[in-house]
Amino acid sequence: MYDSDMGRRKTYDVKNIIQKMKQVFLVNGYKATSLDDLVKATGLLRGSLYAEFGSKRSMFVSVLDTCLKQHLHDKDTWEIILIGMMELSAQDQLVRDKLKAIFVDVNDAELSDKLGKMIIQRSKINGDDKHE
């Protein structure tokens, strides 16, 4: 793998970086995640993250895309979906379109059940402090 901007060989695995970014977004949400949080979690320099993804939004979209393609029944995927819905989709047409596309295949009862459970868990009102 080569870094097209610098002509140097990449020393990281993009899939691994996306997984590490996913964990940061799961803990902090989108808005509360800083680029410094992502730099620390991935071990990459700020410039390398920007060269690979372009922006924090693109980093989140890469995480969302990966989750939607590989793990639609995974709890983490539903948390990423919820973060996208609550923090981005109202202002971001691309995120909104990606989320709309998956909801076509999910019935309303299943959608309400999954998202309702995620909201309760993320709010920590049931005593589940998993992400602290």
Average pLDDT over residues 119-127: 83
> Which structure tokens are listed for 13?
């695995």
State yes or no: pLDDT of 132 exceeds 60.
Answer: no
State yes or no: pLDDT of 128 exceeds 90.
Answer: no
Q: What is the mean pLDDT of the chain?
A: 87
State yes or no: pLDDT of 5 exceeds 60.
Answer: no
Please report the domains of the chain, with CATH numbers, ordered by start residue: 2-123 (1.10.10.60)
Global model pTM greater than 0.85:
no
In the Cβ-directed half-sphere of 51, how many Cα atoms lie within 13 Å? 15
Dump the DSSP string for 3-29. ETTTTEE--S-HHHHHHHHHHHHHHHT
Nearest by Cα to 64 from 35, 39, 92: 92
Average pLDDT over residues 102-125: 83
Residues 66, 60: Cα–Cα separation, whole Å? 10
> Which structure tokens are listed for 16?
């691994």
Cα angle 131, 126, 34; round to 5: 25
Contact status, residue 38 vs residue 21, Cβ threshold 8 Å? yes
Average pLDDT over residues 68-89: 90
